[in-house]
Amino acid sequence: GAVVSQHPSWVICKSGTSVKIECRSLDFQATTMFWYRQFPKQSLMLMATSNEGSKATYEQGVEKDKFLINHASLTLSTLTVTSAHPEDSSFYICSAREVGREFYNSPLHFGNGTRLTVT
Amino acid sequence: GIQVEQSPPDLILQEGANSTLRCNFSDSVNNLQWFHQNPWGQLINLFYIPSGTKQNGRLSATTVATERYSLLYISSSQTTDSGVYFCAVILTGGGNKLTFGTGTQLKVEL
């Protein structure tokens, strides 16, 4: 159980275009989803917290107008990288917490990630 | 700020060897997880272990919350164990954000 599906698994786009990444919880509902970014040889850094039905909360230094997050349902959150540039090339991973589970007594479930290359 | 340090940063083992990976964190925690990131980037959830000891096959983990560290033991290592191992924590008073450690890059050779 607790499967998180992320799509696409990889994408190549041209500089200036936008890319949408989907994160779905398949067998549970998630009021909260998290988006992480990982550059080569580095750890995962939290970008934003996505809450169903409300605005996302962005970490310091993350441009909210560039990384648009929508969490329209209890099973789907999307991250759109707008006007992508080569420096946005990275590995993006989403995670989800099951409805009714508290952060202090339950694990986060992660998707398989999306490798974005901007040319 | 929140600090989650892992050691060693890099480790090379011969197949069959045992190893211990360490995760130190700067404050008390509500949540701690160990992950294995394989060469394709997938994060495999190994343990949810904010305290105590757990075992799963060749892997086991111990978290001593009062002393602010956690250990991951790998016994009889195999080449498929290669990859990066991360611990991640939610610090008490740190909201609900899972903060990742610096990681340990493990390579198991024949």
Phi–psi pair at B67, nearest 5 degrees: -105, 5
Tell me the pLDDT tens digit for each residue of B29-60: 888 999 999 988 999 999 999 999 999 999 99
pLDDT of residue B62: 98
What is the dihedral sign for C-alpha A53, A60, A33, A10?
positive
pLDDT of residue A108: 86
Tell me the pLDDT tens digit for each residue of A28-43: 888 889 999 999 999 9
Mean pLDDT of chain B: 93
Q: Which A positions 90-119 lie with beta carbon below 8 A of chain B?
A: 91, 93, 95, 97, 103-110, 112-113, 115
Q: Which B positions 21-80 lie with beta carbon below 8 A of chain A?
A: 30-31, 33, 35, 40-43, 45, 48, 50
Per-residue pLDDT of chain A (119 residues; tens, 9 = 90+): 789 999 999 999 999 999 999 999 998 888 889 999 999 999 999 999 998 888 899 999 999 999 999 998 899 999 999 999 999 999 999 999 887 766 666 788 999 999 999 99
Residues in CB range of B108: below 8 A, 6 or more apart = B12, B13, B14, B15, B17, B77, B78, B79, B80, B81, B82
Q: How confident is the model at residue B3 (pLDDT cuts 50, 70, 90)?
A: confident
Q: Do B99 and A91 touch (CB under 8 A)?
A: no
Candidates B82, B79, B78; CA nearest to B104 is B82
Residue-by-residue DSSP string for B27-64 = S-EEEEEEEEE-TT-PEEEEEE-SSEEEEETTEEEEEE
The reply to whether A60 touches chain B by the CB within 8 Å rule is: no
Phi–psi pair at B38, nearest 5 degrees: -80, 175
Place of tokens 């991250």: A79
Residue A10 contacts residue A115 (beta carbons within 8 Å): yes
Q: What CA–CA distance (Å, rounded) separates A4 from A107? A: 13
The reply to whether B17 touches chain A by the CB within 8 Å rule is: no
